[in-house]
Amino acid sequence: MIVLTCLSAVAVFGSPAALSNGAASIRGRTMGRPLRNLRYGINRPNMIRKASKDDIPDVLRDAAEQVSSKADEIFQGTDQAASQAKNKASSKADQLLQQKNEGLGDVGINTAPFQPENPENSAIGTTGGTSPTGKFWDPVGFTKGATPNKLKRFRESEITHGRVGMLGALGWLVQEKFSPLFGGDHTPAAVNQFEEIQSRAPYFWYPVLLGVAIAEIARARIGWEDPATGGLWDLKEDYEPGNIGFDPLNIRPKDPQEYEDLKNKELNNGRLAMLSLAGFMAQELKNGKPIMDNLMDARDAAASA
């Protein structure tokens, strides 16, 4: 029985020498697959486990070579990306320098006033465009591409905030010298009086806010479209920005040119008042002294210089 088994094995596999050579061939093929798999990034641990102990250093050496090759590729890609970024930055710098030479700002913003093709035919005309800014002054280009209704809304906002600014600048100077609140017993700098009112009369602002809300609703009903039927932020087509029909002293001129001059004066003074209020706040927050005291100190310093 044993003899028959051996003869069958020889018949199937060949001679013992051939069988030995076949085992070596199988081992070679088994080792070759993991190496090829590592080379192409395919992880097959079950094939690596078939390698003999003597072949393990070769596997590790092959893996180390592949890691080194991959690292070279990564560093090469990094160098290419850095070179591309450098070239892009250099190109952008040349572009900004060219823009600056052509009269544009350092960051590509056109410092020349934006002028529409026909400012006289725009939704707001040339009102507010006085010397030295020109007929239509818009250095940043907010109105570029704006619809006529949006342009009118910009002007409405400018007029409204300018009026608040004029009243605020006047009230700022007056209340630092005279104020009926608390019998005149308050901090001298107006910038601190808001917090003082809140601490000494917490309910003071409720009627103030109610009055502001009533005034704003009344203004909206005059100039704005009904949100239910028109646009949410659209002004009425026949509404003139700033003209809410409030003229208790009847000072509006009948002559169109005089009326245009009056509107220009209101806009320019409103712009000045908004800038002045910002300056008042910044100066008093810096040293805590009233504006008039700062003006007196500046006058004395100029006289002694």
Cα distance between residue 140 and residue 144, in whole Å = 9
Q: Over 177-218, what HEC string results?
A: CCCCHHHHCCCCCHHHHHHHHHHHCCCCHHHHHHHHHHHHHH
Question: pLDDT by residue (tens digit) across 220-265?
Answer: 999 999 888 877 888 998 999 999 988 999 999 999 999 999 999 9
Cα distance between residue 30 and residue 26, in whole Å = 6
Q: Over 84-134, what HEC string results?
A: HHHHHHHHHHHHHHHHHHCCECCCCCECCCCCCCCHHHCCCCCCCCCCCCC
pLDDT of amino acid 274: 96
Of 47, 49, 22, 52, the residue nearest 36 (C-alpha): 47
| Average pLDDT score over the chain | 74
At 41 the three-state DSSP class reads coil
pLDDT of amino acid 128: 79
Work out the burial of residue 164: count CB atoms within 10 Å of its CB; fewer than 13 is exposed, 13-18 middle, 19 or more buried. middle
pLDDT of amino acid 41: 45
Cα distance between residue 68 and residue 212, in whole Å = 73
Cα distance between residue 231 and residue 57, in whole Å = 78
DSSP β-bridge partners for residue 104: 110
Give the chain's end-to-end CA distance (angstroms, integer).
128
pLDDT of amino acid 47: 44
Handedness of CA 16, 21, 25, 30 (dihedral sign): positive
**pLDDT beneath 70, residues of the chain:** 1-61, 63-64, 67, 70-82, 85-86, 89, 92-93, 95-123, 182, 184
pLDDT of amino acid 34: 46
Of 283, 277, 299, 45, the residue nearest 169 (C-alpha): 277
At 56 the three-state DSSP class reads helix
pLDDT of amino acid 107: 42
Q: What is the pTM of this model?
A: 0.58
Is the distance from CB of 161 to CB of 261 less than 8 angstroms? no
Of 241, 245, 294, 233, the residue nearest 270 (C-alpha): 241
Handedness of CA 110, 116, 119, 123 (dihedral sign): negative
Tokens of 137: 């002054």
pLDDT of amino acid 233: 84
pLDDT of amino acid 55: 54
